[in-house]
């Protein structure tokens, strides 16, 4: 990153697991209020190198209102013309309302679309849990404050320097908080040190993140929560070379991605006085006090290094959670600058980049290097895809970013228990109808020109492929709705647990879109009570897919859209499960529908008798929703099933026109 201030994956699913679930991001022109229409603008289809650039004043406040004339971009020592420019203001964090309808922020829609705004930040919350046990409560408080501060267009992810990814990028705050509140390791409980030789696993994690996000032109910040920073060099002769090399790779990846690192220390302001840290232990000898002071000073210097190099800063105080909002203020505005891609270097080295402004007292954060994307062979990466599938669908689910070439929306819902302990998961896909291109254009063949191709895959947290569904559907079998959309269904069979789901659809002519989402599969066999996903039935029946795809598992064609009118017929459906190894019991059901003011507009109590649970220990439940009585706006439907002291709860959001 260029700095002007006074004073101091390979991209395959195995690597992409670190950022799997990243919502679709596309580079679109947005004109800031008051920005001149004569500014160079981004246009779809333009082959540009896109740079995200942040500018702060000496007080670390975002500098807004700059124009392309205020910037100079130098590539490999030569000034480059700016051919596209736009200012981006990140949507603000919604203020708490008097109505207290917190579900609007906490519960994300189950239908995930690739047409969402891309103005938000990518926020990675990384735990480096080398802290005292007494600091754990503050670490949790910091993390939950980060979630509170996320704006409506921000995507958050949770990870640790040890172990696997806790939660990929999502707008779902419930998922983020669940990942945060899992037990974390503190000092004295760490894993085998051999698993993190010389501490370089921290460097490797950050390197992987930065490499995966290098071509994503959003504001990207990493909040490192811990008492230890990322060591860039060491005097330990055993670790000196490994740390140096790991630091070199990490800093190079950070330079390409323009990733800003903040260090947040949950331990508060430390003192070398024994009464503060040791509870009244007899006074230290002067030499011991000096050593303790030196060790603490060295620690602070270590945790400052990476934030200083990346344009971030450290947050060390007795109330570090109160400083978290400042990181979001500092990153609330940035610029997107487009230049012609630099020519390939003969030595295959990265191209050097420099972005400066006319004012030399400003802090400019921008990519400092550029690596030409290298083609990666698709063969072998998705081994279950038949060879006759369109090759363009491979990268559509294998890249870090979903494809936004065509609008697409998907809901992934577990619906049935299978005899082997797995579950059937329904994928509800909503696409936008497009005209058939002339034969031979866009890569179409006569056999493809009248059909739509669909591929859906599920992956674990390490990017391992768990299941794949592939089908080709004739357009003549698809019913086009009055709004110009159509619906398709697919089926995956998955083990219990949280899984990443990726769906791609290709139309005649080769245009395609994809969506990345998640599905939580309960253990229907073992849980005393569990629910399938909540599905909505509008009675349209206009859903295409393989004949007999679900059989008795799903007795209707659910709606993959979530906006309805007063004249629509709308019911909610859920299947209730009881543990396979136990005798069924009566299950109490509570249904609650609330609006954006948190007013309860419907509340019902019901029950399922034990004899309604058949050999599969499941029973279906339906309820009509009073759409004729609902005003325009969003609603949250909640169904709670209770068996004795055990309960399960499901939610679904929908809107009324």
* Average pLDDT rounded to a whole number, residues 509-514: 82
Query: Across the strands, what pairs with 652?
Result: 637
Burial code of 26-53, b = ≥16 C-beta within 10 A, e = fewer?
A: bbeebeeeebeeebebbeeeeebbbbbb
- Quick one: 438 and 342 in the same domain? no
* Average pLDDT rounded to a whole number, residues 563-577: 93
pLDDT tens, residue by residue, 314-348: 998 899 999 999 999 999 999 999 998 877 766 66
Q: Which residue has the higher pLDDT, 186 or 464?
A: 464
- Quick one: 361 and 452 in the same domain? no
E strands within 495-645? Answer: 497-506, 512-521, 529-531, 535-537, 543-544, 563-564, 571-578, 587-595, 600-608, 618-624, 633-643
Residue 293 is predicted with a pLDDT of 55
Closest of 136, 138, 189 to residue 162, by C-alpha: 189
- Quick one: 333 and 419 in the same domain? no
Cα–Cα distance for residue pair 229/223, rounded to 1 Å: 11
Residue 16 is predicted with a pLDDT of 40
Q: Which two tokens stand for residue 125?
A: 């919350």
Which of 370, 385, 401 delimits the end of a domain? 370
Which of 339, 370, 401 delimits the end of a domain? 370
Q: Is the dihedral of CA 235, 240, 243, 244 positive or negative?
A: positive
CATH of the domain at 359: 3.40.50.410
Residue 424 is predicted with a pLDDT of 94
Residue 378 is predicted with a pLDDT of 38
CA atoms within 13 A on the CB side of 450: 5
- Quick one: 438 and 553 in the same domain? yes
- Structural domain that includes position 210: 13-95+108-370
pLDDT tens, residue by residue, 458-498: 988 767 888 888 888 888 778 888 788 888 889 999 999 98
DSSP calls for 107-173: S--SSEES-S---SEEEEEEE---S-GGGHHHHHHHHHHHHHH--TT-EEEEEESSSS-SEEEES-H
- C-alpha angle 459-182-461 in degrees, rounded to nearest 5: 10
Query: Across the strands, what pairs with 589?
Result: 606, 641
- Quick one: 329 and 361 in the same domain? yes
Closest of 416, 429, 651 to residue 554, by C-alpha: 416
214 part of a folded domain = yes
Flag the least confident range among 355-364, 379-388, 601-610.
379-388
- Quick one: 445 and 360 in the same domain? no
pLDDT tens, residue by residue, 13-56: 443 444 444 433 333 333 333 344 344 444 434 468 889 999 99
59 part of a folded domain = yes
388 part of a folded domain = no
- Quick one: 124 and 27 in the same domain? yes
Cα–Cα distance for residue pair 550/532, rounded to 1 Å: 14
575 part of a folded domain = yes
Residue 98 is predicted with a pLDDT of 42
- Quick one: 440 and 346 in the same domain? no
- Quick one: 349 and 401 in the same domain? no
- Quick one: 243 and 175 in the same domain? yes
Cα–Cα distance for residue pair 316/319, rounded to 1 Å: 8
pTM exceeding 0.85: no
Query: Which residue matches tokens 């230890």?
Result: 228
513 part of a folded domain = yes
Q: How many domains does the chain have?
A: 2
- Quick one: 479 and 585 in the same domain? yes
- Quick one: 366 and 401 in the same domain? no
């Amino acid at each position: 990153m260029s700095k002007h201030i006074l004073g101091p994956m390979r991209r395959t699913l195995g690597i992409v697991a670190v950022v799997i679930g990243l919502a679709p991001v596309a580079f679109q022109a947005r004109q800031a209020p008051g920005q001149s229409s004569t500014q160079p603008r981004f246009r779809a289809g333009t082959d540009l190198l896109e740079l995200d650039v942040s500018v702060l004043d000496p007080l670390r406040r975002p500098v807004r209102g700059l124009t392309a004339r205020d910037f100079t971009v130098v590539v490999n020592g030569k000034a480059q013309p700016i051919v596209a420019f736009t200012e981006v203001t990140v949507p603000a964090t919604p203020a708490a309302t008097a109505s207290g309808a917190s579900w609007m922020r906490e519960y994300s829609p189950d239908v995930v679309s690739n047409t969402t705004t891309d103005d938000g930040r990518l926020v990675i919350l990384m735990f480096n849990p080398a802290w005292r046990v007494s600091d754990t409560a503050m670490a949790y408080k910091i993390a939950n404050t980060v979630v509170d501060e996320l704006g409506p267009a921000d995507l958050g992810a949770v990870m640790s320097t040890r172990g696997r990814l806790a939660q990929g990028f999502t707008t779902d705050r419930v998922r983020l908080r669940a990942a945060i509140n899992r037990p974390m390791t503190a000092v004295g409980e760490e894993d085998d040190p051999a698993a993190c030789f010389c501490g370089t696993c921290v460097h490797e994690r950050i390197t992987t993140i930065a490499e995966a996000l290098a071509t994503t032109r959003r504001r990207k910040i990493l909040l490192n929560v811990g008492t230890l920073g990322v060591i860039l060099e060491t005097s330990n002769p055993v670790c000196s070379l490994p740390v140096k090399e790991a630091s070199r790779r990490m800093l190079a990846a950070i330079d390409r991605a323009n990733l800003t690192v903040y260090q947040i220390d949950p331990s508060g302001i430390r003192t070398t006085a024994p009464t503060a840290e040791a509870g009244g232990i007899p006074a230290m000898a002067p030499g011991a006090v000096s050593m303790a002071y030196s060790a603490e000073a060295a620690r602070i210097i270590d945790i400052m290094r990476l934030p200083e190099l990346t344009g971030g800063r450290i947050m060390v105080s007795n109330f570090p959670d109160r400083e978290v909002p400042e990181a979001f203020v500092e990153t609330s505005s940035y610029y997107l600058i487009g230049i012609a891609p630099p020519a390939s270097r003969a030595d295959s080295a990265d191209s050097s980049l420099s972005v400066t402004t006319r004012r030399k007292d400003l802090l400019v954060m921008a990519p400092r290097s550029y690596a030409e994307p290298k083609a990666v062979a698709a063969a072998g990466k998705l081994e279950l895809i038949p060879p006759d599938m369109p090759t363009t669908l491979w990268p559509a689910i294998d890249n870090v970013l979903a494809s936004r070439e065509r609008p697409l929306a998907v809901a992934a819902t577990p619906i049935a228990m299978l005899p082997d302990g797995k579950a059937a998961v329904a994928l509800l896909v909503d696409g936008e109808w497009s005209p058939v291109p002339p034969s031979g254009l866009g890569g179409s063949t006569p056999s493809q020109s009248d059909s739509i191709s669909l591929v859906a895959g599920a992956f674990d947290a390490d990017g391992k492929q768990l299941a794949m569904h592939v089908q080709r559907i004739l357009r003549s079998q698809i019913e086009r709705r009055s709004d110009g959309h159509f619906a398709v269904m697919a089926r995956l069979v998955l083990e219990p647990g949280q899984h990443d789901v990726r769906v791609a659809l290709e139309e005649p002519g080769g245009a395609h879109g994809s969506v990345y989402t998640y599905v939580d599969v309960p253990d229907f066999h073992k849980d005393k009570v569990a629910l399938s996903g909540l599905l909505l039935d509008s009675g349209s029946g206009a859903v295409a897919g393989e004949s007999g795809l679900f059989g008795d598992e799903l007795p209707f064609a659910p709606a993959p859209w979530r906006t309805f009118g007063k004249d629509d017929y709308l019911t909610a459906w859920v299947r209730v499960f009881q543990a396979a190894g136990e005798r069924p019991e009566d299950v109490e059901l509570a249904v609650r529908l609330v609006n954006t003011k948190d007013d309860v507009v419907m509340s019902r109590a019901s029950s399922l008798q034990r004899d309604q649970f058949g050999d599969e220990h499941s029973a279906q439940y339906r309820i009509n929703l009073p759409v004729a009585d609902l005003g325009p706006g969003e609603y949250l439907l909640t169904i709670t099933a209770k068996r004795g002291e055990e309960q399960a709860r499901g939610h679904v959001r929908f809107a009324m026109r």
